[in-house]
Chain A
Amino acid sequence: MTLVVFAVGNPSRGDDALGPLLMAGLEARAQTGVVLISDFQLQIEHALDLDGCELALFIDAGTGTPAPFEFRETAPAPGRPVSSHSLPPEAVLNVFADIRGVPPPPAFVLCVRGEDFGLGKDLSAAARQHFDAAAARLAACLTRPDAAYWRRLAEADRRVVTT
């Protein structure tokens, strides 16, 4: 099983660093079969990083998104992205399908809620709490990089939110 993990964010912009900080933890573990890619934002060439992968995870900070994090499966979608400078994960998956002519691997999003994205700021207090919760979820995912298992985790989260 080859897993590709994308972490998105600008480390100098407060809670936008959530993605890169979570990635730093993964880099320290250097797990076999896990490809790690960190960038300021998702772009079209990231579609090529999906080549040969059987599972994908996109980690990003969110604003106005569920706290402490949202973990969900996602799928290719043409959508109507507001900014081509920053594609959503769904558009990256769609670009892969268009240029490779095959469906992308199963893909999940770990969106960690941020509160303050100011230049030069550290993580906000709320984001630190969200980070800890997301890191625990990430560790659980990495113990079993398997789409079926991740779907169960996402489904369990969804039930908690709806009940």
Chain B
Amino acid sequence: MSFELETATNRESLRRVAIDPVSRVEGHGKVTLLLDEAGHVKEARLHIVEFRGFEKFIQGRPYWEVPVMVQRLCGICPVSHHLAAAKALDPVVGAVPITATAEKIRRLMHYGQILQSHALHFFHLSSPDLLFGFESPVQQRNIVGVAGAYPEVARQGVLLRKFGQEVIRITAGKRVHGTGAVPGGVNKSLTPAERDELLQDADQMIQWSRDAVHLARRLHETNGSLYDEFGLFRSHIFSLVRADGAMDLYDGHLRLRDARGQIVRDDLACDDYENFIREEVKSWSYMKFPYITELGPGRGWYKVGPLARVQNCDFIPSTLAEIERQAFIAHGDGEPIHAPLAYHWARMIEMLHAAEVIRSLLDDPDILSDKRMAEGPRGREGVGIIEAPRGTLIHHYRVGDDDLVSYCNLIVSTTHNNQAMNEAVRQVARRYLDGRQLTEGLLNHIEVAIRAFDPCLSCATHALGKMPLAVELLDAEGKLLDHASSGG
């Protein structure tokens, strides 16, 4: 299956512009644009240049190691992998269901992860573009620039992220590489002192999160024509929802809505995901392209993450976030909002929800209980699906009689958004780059579109001296015309 602008007809004669790697996204990515002699975009692709190989890495390991090991997939959302793996392996130890304490501790950990990741993304990944403009001086367009011009916003962003990290540290045992969730439950509950430590700041986090929603909403509404149209494409939306249709980022069933907002598939059991999701392989990318099997790759692709979740659920089960969700839905005037920049507004609504959930859980006596583990008849297979900050995350394992993992399949959030991100890149390339002189500000438009999805493109390696931003301009014969780089 090939989409418009995915593959040019006369690629050899086209000028090539590479943004390599995309800056301010996790891992390594590359965008290539093929331009004809007149400067018109003829091909636009987001490449994922690094192959993880993590599924093979897991095979042959004892199953109980997996929830800790998979955290090394990502330095930004290790908790999501930790919890998805633990959920998938609960049936292997017969823990169906896990105890109330275990589920609430895991939820606390997960919503701490959502809060800290969303705070990082909005305040420190995207706010430079949103507050200063996509073509503002590149020297200003970074978190340090935000701190200088908007010190209170920067301070709140730092402290929101810090609070989320503290929730993780207390529930998982460590800020990174935690071991809190294990197959069958959790290995620690909270002490009253730990609960009280978090309670001290919980209400402040709700207030700051609410302020952040209002900032994102104000930015969107103030720049409505830009925000509503930038990189716009329409697609299905896909996520977990709770049995009653509420937003639930930890558990539930899967739901698919079409581009008009109609529910087309509902009550899809997580264990059956293989029956309705397939992945298409394309020769030019290491990342697969998932789609709904019965709709096919041409019609069945979808987007995941905050923009999908806020609109796929029927309501958000926390008071303040639900008020904000209703305002968001009203902005769509009866139609789903598909604009990539609306991810930021939706993401802040989720951050507020996470802050409210954390506050609520801290009042629950179950988080102090010692009833941490459950067990039952052993199983040999499990699927764990969770809504990670970036979208639906699927872990699937089979375990042999020797307790070693014999099969592992991971569909990570960013993979679900692969086609969606490519579409956003093509829309922006067509609208902003076609036939114009290329500038750093214009190229940043492409990156702004990608960043809206908060992609995580590879597991974390961030050595000093690595990851410069390099832009190469080549003519039709492949001769280097211009070169620029920054950072590193």
A65 in complex: contacting residue of B57, B69, B465, CB < 8 Å: B465
A102 vs B52: C-alpha distance when bound (angstroms)? 42
A109 vs B463: C-alpha distance when bound (angstroms)? 13
A63 in complex: contacting residue of B123, B139, B154, B463, CB < 8 Å: B463
- Among A8, A79, A85, the most chain B Cβ lie within 10 Å of the Cβ of A85
Known: A82-B467, A85-B75. 6 other contacts (CB 8 A): A45-B165, A83-B487, A84-B142, A87-B143, A111-B464, A120-B57
Question: Which residue in chain B gives the minimum CB-CB distance to A119?
Answer: B53
Q: How far is the CB of B13 from chain A (nearest CB, A)?
A: 32
Residues of B within 8 A of A64 (CB): 465-466
Chain A 85-126 per-residue mask, 1 if CB under 8 angstroms from chain B, else 0: 111100100110011000000000101001001011000000
Residues of A within 8 A of B273 (CB): none
Residues of A at under 8 Å CB distance from B?
A: 8-13, 15-16, 38-45, 47-48, 60-65, 78-88, 91, 94-95, 98-99, 109, 111, 114, 117, 119-120
Question: Which residue in chain B gives the minimum CB-CB distance to A65?
Answer: B465
Whether A80 lies near B158 (C-beta < 8 A) is: no
Whether A10 lies near B25 (C-beta < 8 A) is: no
Whether B75 lies near A63 (C-beta < 8 A) is: no
Q: Which of B144-152, B181-189, B208-216, B283-291 contacts A (4 or more CB under 8 A)?
A: B144-152
Whether A117 lies near B486 (C-beta < 8 A) is: no
A87 vs B142: C-alpha distance when bound (angstroms)? 10
Q: How far is the CB of B287 from chain A (nearest CB, A)?
A: 15
Q: Which residues between 164 and 218 of chain B lie within 8 Å of chain A, taking CB atoms?
A: 165, 175-176
Residues of A within 8 A of B145 (CB): 78
Whether A61 lies near B25 (C-beta < 8 A) is: no
Residues of B within 8 A of A12 (CB): 57, 69, 72, 459
Residues of B at under 8 Å CB distance from A?
A: 23-26, 52-54, 57, 69, 72, 75-76, 78, 120, 123-125, 128, 138-139, 142-145, 147-148, 151, 154-155, 157-159, 161-162, 165, 175-176, 459-469, 486-488
A61 and B487 in contact (CB under 8 A), knowing A10-B75, A80-B142, A98-B144?
no
A88 vs B465: C-alpha distance when bound (angstroms)? 10
Q: How far is the CB of A10 from chain B (nearest CB, A)?
A: 5
Residues of A within 8 A of B139 (CB): 78, 80
Residues of A within 8 A of B24 (CB): 82-85
A81 in complex: contacting residue of B142, B151, B158, CB < 8 Å: B142
Residues of A within 8 A of B459 (CB): 10, 12-13, 119
Whether B463 lies near A85 (C-beta < 8 A) is: no
Query: Which DSSP category, helix, strand, loop or mixed, fits chain A's interface?
Result: loop
A45 vs B154: C-alpha distance when bound (angstroms)? 11
A90 vs B293: C-alpha distance when bound (angstroms)? 49
Whether B57 lies near A95 (C-beta < 8 A) is: no
Whether B464 lies near A119 (C-beta < 8 A) is: no
B75 in complex: contacting residue of A41, A82, A109, A111, CB < 8 Å: A41
Q: How far is the CB of B391 from chain A (nearest CB, A)?
A: 17
Q: How far is the CB of A55 from chain B (nearest CB, A)?
A: 20
Whether A99 lies near B464 (C-beta < 8 A) is: no
Q: List 28 A-B contacts (CB under 8 A).
A: A13-B72, A15-B463, A16-B461, A40-B75, A40-B460, A44-B157, A45-B158, A47-B158, A48-B162, A62-B465, A63-B466, A65-B464, A78-B142, A79-B142, A81-B144, A82-B24, A82-B488, A83-B23, A83-B24, A84-B143, A85-B24, A85-B25, A85-B75, A85-B76, A95-B158, A98-B148, A111-B464, A117-B463
Q: How far is the CB of B17 from chain A (nearest CB, A)?
A: 18
A16 and B142 in contact (CB under 8 A), knowing A47-B158, A120-B57?
no
A117 vs B463: C-alpha distance when bound (angstroms)? 9
Whether B120 lies near A95 (C-beta < 8 A) is: no
A83 in complex: contacting residue of B148, B155, B464, B467, CB < 8 Å: B467
- Among B23, B75, B486, the most chain A Cβ lie within 10 Å of the Cβ of B75
Residues of B within 8 A of A117 (CB): 461, 463
Residues of A within 8 A of B157 (CB): 44
A18 vs B386: C-alpha distance when bound (angstroms)? 32
